[in-house]
Structure 1
Amino acid sequence: MYFDIALIAYLTDRIFGEFTFIRHPVVLMGDFITAFQKHFYRDTIARGFWLVFWLLAAVLALVTPISLIDNVWVLGIIASSGIAGKMLYESVQNVLNDPQSIRYLVSRDTENLSKSDINKAAIETYAENLSDGVIAPLFYLLVFGLVGLFLYKAINTLDSMVGYRNEKYEKFGKVAARLDDIANYIPSRITAVLILILFGKLGKLPQTWHYAALHESPNAGYPIAAMALSLNVSLGGATSYFGVIKNKPYFGEGKREISDEDIRSALALQWKLDTLVIIVLAAGVMV
């Protein structure tokens, strides 16, 4: 396992965050997806498959030779671009000062959200993206190295751009969405368990699995339910996407009016997570 590269990557992200002087790999992947849609889009499963195939092939071709560099510091710094812990924390924290910034973090309609709904959306995206942006990239980096990390980021980017069940992407985005479901199956559950452990709520594991099963996604419900139960709030509920109200179930057993203090309580998880991850990775390096 690649503990040394993962440790350097995690510390680099926590200290420096995103490197703004270079074009981010995820942005480049997004450019590829946009260009493919512009020239080859057709709402068929086959055309969506070819989008997935060619993006993953391009990532594999580009990253494989880079992964052969015999310098863990260089590899760790490169890998840090696949971890979004610092950016996620700061983005959710910024909602406390600028509630309207929530529109940059979520895909739901944000124009008419109440303050409680904005806070709820911030906590939900923090919980879900702890999996997508931190734990899952670390998992694939540890197990499969740099190639695994960036293949995961490609899959996740595909899902975030085309993996929607709407008129445009119902068929075109199906392969991307299903592949993302598979890729996040283990990380989402690891994230839920970590949230419960770090909040001292592991006894709520059965409830977490119960509420998570209510989510239409096979993965997103796990970290969201774990966070809701840990904070004693209820997340989910009716939410507007692309002008259509989706009556999602509630996740959790606590209050439904979400305050700024609830966001602060959720963000308090970060230093505990940092400590645990660094200790585990450092121990792995020394073994």
Structure 2
Amino acid sequence: MSTAEILLLALILDALLGEPAWLWSRLPHPAVLMGNCVSWLETRLNTGASKRAKGLLASAALVGLGLALGWLLSLFGPMVEIVVAAVLLAQRSLVEHLRAVATGLAQSLAKGQQAVAMIVSRDTAGMTGPQVARSAIESGSENMSDGVVAPAFWFLLGGLPGLLAYKMINTGDSMIGYRNTRFEEFGWATARLDDLVNLIPARLTGLMMALVGGGLRDWPEIARDAAKHRSPNAGWPEAAMARALGLSLAGPRSYDGEMRQFPWVNAPGAKSISGPAILRCCEILWQTWAMGVALLVAFALIF
């Protein structure tokens, strides 16, 4: 069975089953185990002098562990590869989290705030309804790249070792890739490596979103807005989603009680949005997934 065929089956399995609560309530999720690895390295290495060099060592250890574990698991054959890859893809769970925010908002602002707090790191307690909806859509757009397209891309290139190495890097970035006193030096290498491995997938995600959203004609504006984003990659799917929905995303938001002024993405778009916009975002995410599957089938037939 080819790598493309294994990936195709894994994508379908993830779309059908997602993350069953009955399973992960009994077993530690791989993301938790990866997070434990990052925490172990950070606790032991993020001390004293030469933190940037130690962070580089930590990044190398994460990549090496991912490659080795992926290689070991691949020895058990295609069925194990399919299951492991499906577990590490996040299409269904991503959409379910977004739908939970839409459902919460339909019930009350407080429930919407509680639901969006599960998927974003910004302050949520003081959010308005439009801010809750906007945060959910931004998170869904970015995580379509990080949680679906990029893992699939690296599996296609490097099999299970490539996928595990990517997930290690991405998990590391989510935990230590911050520009603050504790992590700025130690997490620098992991953050830059995460930028590198997401360079192509983020732009591919934005392109597919633009195609399914009918906004390919707006690609120059998407590229312009993406360049304004604080991340070199996250702006691409976010800008494409904003154009597909006719909304303004990003803009001012609060972290740790401090309001930060970020530029608007698609500034002329609507700013007063609610739950239905989140549901439309979910539709575009599924359409993007379907386009990715179609491209994968074409790839498998050609190669």
- Pair in the same fold by TM > 0.5: yes
3-state SS, counterpart of residue 152 of structure 2: helix
Out of 106, 118, 122, which is 1:104 matched to? Answer: 118
1:35 offset after TM fit, Å?
Answer: 2.0
1:50 offset after TM fit, Å?
Answer: 2.1
Out of 262, 267, 279, which is 1:264 matched to? Answer: 279
| Correspondence 1:225-264 to 2 at 5 A | 225-252=239-266, 253-264=268-279
**Equivalent residue letter for 2:272:** E
**Equivalent residue letter for 1:30:** G
Out of 70, 92, 95, which is 1:86 matched to? Answer: 92
3-state SS, counterpart of residue 22 of structure 1: coil
Residue 4, structure 1, aligned to residue 5, structure 2: yes
Out of 195, 205, 209, which is 2:209 matched to? Answer: 195
- Change beyond 3 A, Cα 1:55–1:225: same
The size of the alignment, in residue pairs, is 286
Aligned to 2:144: 130
Unmatched 5+ stretches in structure 2: 105-111
1:3 offset after TM fit, Å?
Answer: 0.7
**Equivalent residue letter for 2:232:** P
1:274 offset after TM fit, Å?
Answer: 3.5
**Equivalent residue letter for 2:40:** A
Quote the Cα distance in structure 2 between the aligned partners of 1:271 and 1:240: 30
Is the Cα contact below 8 Å between 1:138 and 1:149 reproduced in 2? yes
**Equivalent residue letter for 1:281:** L
Unmatched 5+ stretches in structure 1: none
Quote the Cα distance in structure 1 between the aligned partners of 2:296 and 2:211: 18
Out of 262, 274, 283, which is 2:298 matched to? Answer: 283
Quote the Cα distance in structure 2 between the aligned partners of 1:282 and 1:221: 28
Quote the Cα distance in structure 2 between the aligned partners of 1:285 and 1:106: 36
3-state SS, counterpart of residue 182 of structure 2: coil
3-state SS, counterpart of residue 248 of structure 1: coil
- Change beyond 3 A, Cα 1:272–1:75: same
Compute the TM-score of the two structures, normalised by the length of structure 1. 0.95
Is the Cα contact below 8 Å between 2:210 and 2:244 reproduced in 1? yes
Is the Cα contact below 8 Å between 2:252 and 2:260 reproduced in 1? yes
1:258 offset after TM fit, Å?
Answer: 1.9
1:105 offset after TM fit, Å?
Answer: 0.4
3-state SS, counterpart of residue 104 of structure 1: coil
| Correspondence 1:9-48 to 2 at 5 A | 9-18=10-19, 19-20=23-24, 21-42=26-47, 44-48=51-55
**Equivalent residue letter for 2:246:** N
Quote the Cα distance in structure 1 between the aligned partners of 2:39 and 2:202: 27
| Correspondence 1:89-168 to 2 at 5 A | 89-98=95-104, 99=112, 100-168=114-182
Deviation track 1:190-223 (CA, whole Å, cap 9, x = no partner) reads: 0000001011111011100000001111111111
Is the Cα contact below 8 Å between 2:227 and 2:235 reproduced in 1? yes
Q: RMSD of the alignment, in Å?
A: 1.6
Residue identity (%): 37
Compute the TM-score of the two structures, normalised by the length of structure 2. 0.90
Is the Cα contact below 8 Å between 1:4 and 1:72 reproduced in 2? no
Aligned to 1:66: 73
